[in-house]
Structure 1
């Protein structure tokens, strides 16, 4: 049976019935591309043993695929009209609808809402609103119950930043890559959605690491130092890092900063995007 929620005419009719005018602020762009949908499902590989958390199910196009394959799905929807429609459409499916702001509910609470233990293994699958992508990633990756695998529809440029290599690194890249191995599975054109967003999207897959990418005693200290280094990202670190630390109320002398950079093998002329996570960890350790 083909997915009934892919039909553009049906999507438009449903939106009219619900008197729902998609808003950019809530990231309401509804997928109508069967190739993109198939790529998401293939990347996530849901099976009967899987517990899945879906963020932003919308009208149910991905929800339908998940309920055909996964053991149970917990779908988190903020819009009350969409949540009500999902309950009507998926009456007998292995599905729990949670009407809530995903950022205000812990992953463990979502699992419990689906009748599972708060520490049960699960996969995260989502079509994320662009405005909250970073916040949702941190919400799940930093949780006491993080997903083993995440497959996400995100803005193309955000996916590029998350998967960046040395020379193009950012705070976001480090914040994700410390927890997970990140890869872009496919690009999804704007025409794959109703309404079409202004930019292309990407299917991003994150595989949780068995341990953090670097061994650190204090994650907060590590990211304070990273953020300080990126405070003036286009400046050389010998100048940018002392200034960034000072703006945080944690001043360090230029001599202290140069010593920390040297210990990590980082030249003071380098810029923040060229410094690896391992090097930042050494800098943070010296500056403690």
Structure 2
């Protein structure tokens, strides 16, 4: 990013002026907390590791704070925005502040939870960058990883607690359903923290960055949906052993124990100690 590009990023006064011009009042329902600190924007853009040949999908562009920084780096940027007012205004912001790259930008007015590849013009995206609303962060991320196999990398900003869960390894306190399901698609790691004071309005919690790199799913004869079903069952009663927690899923405690034995997993273990590969073997061993 050049010095000229840096000068065109949105600062606190720019964000508030745009919001005022649009008569926009940020809503909690859509998780609208806009980044107003240019240094944070630069840091997020660097962490995304976007190359000049990368096609990027941005979810939740808002007023365009991060959009401009990503567009300065990417071969093409498609931004997906659900809010009517923001979706209508963003192309004009890009054209005004980065006119020489406006032809590399596309706005899609849609709900990311319902987004499909055919809704995006141009080449399939390779990189996902998203400032995700706290209440739908994990469902949106899993939907995009499942529906867009072209995505090879992702950098998402989520609530700090969610970031910990997504990046948690087996055997840790924060390891759970988001950790396991994300591991089906990608290797995840914490890529930094973002304080609440860089947002307008400021949320009640801090945020975290999670970087994900696409991996091959476990080699298994079980469908992904079947693997995720056993994950949900194992964590539905987190404190119970697999023999007890998986009884409803398998049909009985004895059947759950038999499935564990067939999968090479201790029935006395708990879900928080299992890898995604362990869950895949359990799905294969489910009684029919």
TM superposition score normalised by structure 2: 0.89
Structure 1 CA distance, aligned partners of 2:30 and 2:13? 22
| Deviation by residue 1:139-162 (Cα, 9 ceiling, x = unmatched) | 111115341111111111111111
The equivalent of 1:248 in structure 2 is: none
Is residue 235 of structure 1 aligned with residue 234 of structure 2?
no
Structure 2 CA distance for partners of 1:219 and 1:53, relative to 1, 3 Å: same
Aligned length in residues:
275
The C-alpha deviation readout for 1:112-169, integer Å capped at 9, x for no partner, is 2xx33xxx35211111111111121121111153411111111111111111111232
Distance 1:229 1:21 in 2: 41
1:200 pairs with one of 193, 206, 218 = 206
List aligned pairs for 1:69-108, cutoff 5 A: 69-91=73-95, 92=99, 93=102, 94-106=104-116, 108=117
Cα distance in 1 between the residues matched to 2:209 and 2:202: 16
| Pairwise CA distance, 1:262 | 2.6
- Whether 1:174 aligns to 2:184 is no
Q: Is the 8 A contact 2:9 2:38 kept in 1?
A: no
CA 1:227–1:37: 2 relative to 1, 3 Å: same
TM-score (norm 1): 0.89
Which residue of the partner structure matches residue 134 of structure 2?
A: 130
Q: Secondary structure at the match of 2:46?
A: helix
- In structure 2, the CA distance between the partners of 1:199 and 1:79, relative to structure 1 (3 Å rule), is same
Contact 2:257–2:267 at 8 Å: present in 1 too? yes
Task: Specify every segment of 5 or more residues in structure 2 that has no aligned partner in the other structure, as ranges.
Answer: none
Deviation at 1:33, TM superposition (A): 2.5
Are the counterparts in 2 of residues 178 and 214 from structure 1 also a CA contact under 8 Å?
no
Choose which of 142, 158, 161 in structure 2 pairs with 1:154: 158
Equivalent-residue separation in structure 2 for 1:58 and 1:253 (angstroms) = 49
Q: 2:256 and 2:150 mapped to 1: Cα distance?
A: 34
SS in 2 for 1:126: strand
Counterpart-to-counterpart distance in 2, 1:133 and 1:3: 30
Please list, as runs of the form range in 1=range in 2, the aligned pairs for 1:28-107 lying within 5 A after superposition.
28-91=32-95, 92=99, 93=102, 94-106=104-116
Provide the C-alpha distance between the structure 2 equivalents of 1:287 and 1:89, rounded to a whole number of angstroms: 54
The Cα offsets for residues 239-274 of structure 1, whole Å up to 9 and x where unpaired, read as 12103x1xxxxx523222112223334333322212
Q: Give the drift of 1:220.
A: 1.7
* C-alpha separation in 1, matches of 2:9 and 2:22: 15
8 Å CA contact 2:222, 2:283 repeated in 1: no
1:59-105: CA deviation from partner (whole Å, max 9, x where unpaired): 11111112212111111111122122212122341211111212222
Judged with a 3 Å threshold, the aligned counterparts in structure 2 of structure 1 residues 261 and 3 are, in CA distance, closer, same or farther, namely farther
How many angstroms does 1:42 deviate by? 1.4
CA RMSD across the alignment? 1.8
